[in-house]
Chain A
Amino acid sequence: MPRIGVFVCWCGLNIAGTVDVERVAEAARAIPGVVHAETYKYFCSEPGQNLIKQAIQEKRLSGVVVAACSPSMHESTFREAARMAGLNPYLVQIANIREQCSWVHTDREEATVKASAIVAAMVAKVRRDEPLEPLKFPVHRKALVIGGGIAGMQAATDIAEAGCPVILVEQGPNLGGRMAQLSETFPTLDCASCILTPRTAEVARHPLIEVLAYSEVREVTGYVGDFTVKIARKPAYVDWDKCIGCMLCQEKCPRKIPSDFERGLGSRKAIGVNFPQAVPNRPVIDREHCTYFEKGKCGVCAKICPVGAVDFEQTETVREEKVGAIVVATGFDVLPREAFGEYGYGKYPDVIDSLAFERLNSSSGPTDGVIRRPSDGKIPREVVFIQCVGSRDPDKGKPYCSKICCMYTAKHAMLYRHKVPDGQAYIFYMDVRAGGKGYEEFVQRAVEADGALYLRGRVARVYPEDGRLLVKGVDTLSGQAVEIAADLVVLATAAVPREEARGLAQILKVGTDEHGFFSEAHPKLRPVETMTRGIFLAGSVQAPRDISESVAQASGAAAKVLALFSRDELAADPLVAAVDESRCSGCLACQPICPYHAIEPKALKDRQVASVNAGLCQGCGACAAACRSGAMKLKGFTDEQILAEVGTLCL
């Protein structure tokens, strides 16, 4: 016979003000199996918890129902109290009579009746609870970092510096990410390469970091502490182990193609590296544009290579790794050209995006850092910058602020003025958002010292006239129409997640928001964690971020990884599914419905049944609902328990 104790909390007047708690306790005493019921002002307080512990011991309780606030508030408090009194913590249930009763109803009679019903339902549930033990499993102290930009490199370095090995996977041929494309950085105007390249070199030579460039994560199985990851190395058609990085191949390659890295403003060879300081300093053949792959002849690179590293037959290779935690730092992209017809982007060569302007500014860029407009190479005398191109624009499906554009546009205006002292920069903006250390001062400097002219308003149209671009817009502050003849138009296009990110989210089983940015576990209190334990976020994969924020978040993610790695074993909630093999028909209808691939067939002597990997199971219960024979049991939420609650609540 069960011996249930019911503890009805007043929560001061929060509950007792609306619910007659004494009547609720009295009604509880009348439920068969309830041997103890009492009320107290605050059961969550130390003396309140002591009352519960005392009753557990004195009345030898086999189950506890605390009628109080939401389980999200104090379930763990009361479970811990029960554990200390010698009762299995999973034999405690919370009847939510505050958030879902006393706070939302005013009629005392109705609220009291409802509170009693909720208590009765939880008594019915706890009677059918069984003692459970947390699941324990070991931790592989090795981390996977996906993305070799500044965020990924920071996370990798922090983890490795603490003594744990890291695999750093980068889909491109080199480390550095977006930051490698930048010229200078705000608000210090530090040269991006000068702060980035020492970091890439450091990462590449760190004994505990293994850089897998030109590689992709294809499959992730397992769970926190024990992920199995399949990483594919794309064919570079160059044996990087043989290659000595002399780049003779790049020099001699006869095929010039537009460079994505240069945003189409410059060219690269069909074999080579993106930029001279690239790490690893190893070339890749662009198969789509290589004459050898197109026509079957050429092979100049293979002939010139002093070590015979060029290998046209190279194929993809896949390796498997075991890791305990994963940091996702895949960064961002900018909206494609097609999205902005009204600005003539993609149609007029002198309408470029901000990333292209970075390349124009870069001393290693296509113009060696001299700002020339793409159409005729002339130095632009008037440049119009347009902010919020796509961002904060529900019509383009991007209602969010891309956050970095206000700052980099101010930077662009400054850098332009430094290079073209008699030039004029105009900036069309909606609002200038310069929250950040030294950011507002930086924008003011652009205005005051470098004469950037800010115009609040949207641009309606850009079209060519007499070799220049006519920009038509409105200055909403003066209410006047504005027309500027510009030599160059720079669009601060919205930051969006990388195209590959969506597929990666599915591989990792991590949620994304409607735009495809990865979702954090809690926007305020768990900003670097995902809802999947053991997977963390760093940088713009989560939302547009600048460099300093990305670095800070990456260090945060690394700290979380190291906290995991500091334990010998991990504990998990045991509220997982289990199969009653005597009832299982082996139909495996549960297998495809499981989002965690936790269900596998298991061979018994004469038949097969389903079996659940408790480490993979997250306890969603989809399988239990799909099971036709009632063999699949979700602990803590069994059919029996839920039906008992249903029965009680309908009385």
Chain B
Amino acid sequence: MSLTWEPRIVGFACRWCTYAGADLAGTSRLEYPAAIRLIRVPCSGRVNPSFVLRAFQRGADGVLVAGCHPGDCHYTSGNLFTRRRYSLVKRFLEYLGMEPERFRVEWISAAEGHRFAQVVREMTADLRRLGPNRKMREET
């Protein structure tokens, strides 16, 4: 691990809210750390917990699952399943010994470019402090 280690965050962003919110951060030229890489999904409810585990196994230092605010889901109820599903996954990850800061579920609307940038800044700062994910990373 070189001295210039920078964290890597994989983000799952629902296309209607968070992905559009991230686009808004871009149009508003809000600067945030380059640690985040987004994967566009139709709905946060599409995000299978296995995707999150896979990201950690492949060496992601942090994972973000983000979608519309509960009640605002483009598909009516998708993010309600997300909320339920990931409150369990979060506890499971903590049980495995992952620091809670490494995994976040956030509701970021298409109008919340600021919030998106802020979440990335916070997560990056937390991960810089925590260092690389060694717990779940598979040896390569």
Given A70-B26, A100-B22, A646-B54, A620 contacting B43 (CB threshold 8 A): yes
Question: Is B123 positioned at the interface, with any CB of A under 8 Å from its CB?
Answer: no
B38 to A100, Cβ gap below 8 A? yes
A93-113 to B contact mask, C-beta < 8 Å, 1/0: 000101111011111001101
B54 to A621, Cβ gap below 8 A? no
User: How long is the Cα–Cα vector from A646 to B38 in the complex, in angstroms?
Assistant: 9
A650: nearest chain-B partner, CB-CB:
B58
Given A104-B30, A105-B34, A620-B45, A595 contacting B10 (CB threshold 8 A): no
In the assembled complex, which residues on chain A have CB atoms less than 8 Å from the CB atom of B38? 96, 100
Question: Is A72 positioned at the interface, with any CB of B under 8 Å from its CB?
Answer: yes
- In the assembled complex, the CB of B22 is this many whole angstroms from the nearest CB of chain A, namely 5
Give the interface size class of chain B. Answer: 35 or more
B55 to A646, Cβ gap below 8 A? yes
> Contact check: which of A71, A118, A621 meets B45 at CB < 8 Å?
A621
B5-33 to A contact mask, C-beta < 8 Å, 1/0: 01010100000000010110111011111
In the assembled complex, which residues on chain A have CB atoms less than 8 Å from the CB atom of B105? none
Question: Is B87 positioned at the interface, with any CB of A under 8 Å from its CB?
Answer: no
A14: nearest chain-B partner, CB-CB:
B26
User: How long is the Cα–Cα vector from A105 to B22 in the complex, in angstroms?
Assistant: 13
A642 to B43, Cβ gap below 8 A? no
Interface residues in B28-51 by Cβ distance below 8 A to A read 29-34, 37-43, 45-48, 50-51
User: How long is the Cα–Cα vector from A478 to B75 in the complex, in angstroms?
Assistant: 52
Question: Is A575 positioned at the interface, with any CB of B under 8 Å from its CB?
Answer: yes
In the assembled complex, which residues on chain B have CB atoms less than 8 Å from the CB atom of A646? 10, 39, 51, 54-55, 58, 60
Question: Count the A-B residue pairs with Cβ separation under 8 angstroms: how many?
Answer: 128
Give the interface size class of chain A. Answer: 35 or more
Question: Is A637 positioned at the interface, with any CB of B under 8 Å from its CB?
Answer: yes
User: How long is the Cα–Cα vector from A618 to B42 in the complex, in angstroms?
Assistant: 10
A634 to B74, Cβ gap below 8 A? no
- In the assembled complex, the CB of A486 is this many whole angstroms from the nearest CB of chain B, namely 42
In the assembled complex, which residues on chain B have CB atoms less than 8 Å from the CB atom of A575? 42
A104 to B31, Cβ gap below 8 A? yes
In the assembled complex, which residues on chain A have CB atoms less than 8 Å from the CB atom of B46? 620-622, 624-625, 634, 637
A647 to B75, Cβ gap below 8 A? no
Question: Is A603 positioned at the interface, with any CB of B under 8 Å from its CB?
Answer: no
Question: Is B81 positioned at the interface, with any CB of A under 8 Å from its CB?
Answer: yes
> Contact check: which of A100, A106, A107, A650 meets B26 at CB < 8 Å?
A100
A98: nearest chain-B partner, CB-CB:
B26
A70: nearest chain-B partner, CB-CB:
B23
Question: Is A619 positioned at the interface, with any CB of B under 8 Å from its CB?
Answer: yes
B117 to A104, Cβ gap below 8 A? yes
A637 to B41, Cβ gap below 8 A? yes
In the assembled complex, which residues on chain B have CB atoms less than 8 Å from the CB atom of A645? 39
In the assembled complex, which residues on chain A have CB atoms less than 8 Å from the CB atom of B51? 639, 642-643, 646
In the assembled complex, which residues on chain A have CB atoms less than 8 Å from the CB atom of B48? 624-625, 639, 642
- In the assembled complex, the CB of A26 is this many whole angstroms from the nearest CB of chain B, namely 19
Interface residues in A628-651 by Cβ distance below 8 A to B read 634, 637, 639, 642-643, 645-647, 649-651
B58 to A647, Cβ gap below 8 A? yes
- In the assembled complex, the CB of B35 is this many whole angstroms from the nearest CB of chain A, namely 9
Which 7 A-B pairs have CB atoms at the shortest separation, nearest pair first? A99-B26, A621-B46, A650-B58, A620-B75, A103-B26, A110-B34, A622-B45
Additional A-B contacts beyond A514-B71, A626-B81, A642-B41 (9; CB < 8 A)? A70-B23, A100-B22, A104-B32, A121-B37, A619-B42, A620-B43, A634-B46, A645-B39, A650-B55
Chain A residues within 8 Å of B, Cβ to Cβ: 70-72, 96, 98-101, 103-107, 110-111, 113-114, 117-118, 121, 509, 511, 514, 531, 575, 593, 595-596, 618-622, 624-626, 634, 637, 639, 642-643, 645-647, 649-651
A selection of 24 A-B contacts at a CB cut-off of 8 Å is: A70-B26, A96-B40, A99-B22, A103-B26, A103-B27, A104-B25, A105-B31, A105-B34, A114-B34, A114-B37, A118-B37, A514-B71, A575-B42, A593-B81, A619-B42, A620-B78, A621-B41, A622-B77, A625-B81, A634-B42, A634-B46, A639-B50, A646-B54, A646-B55
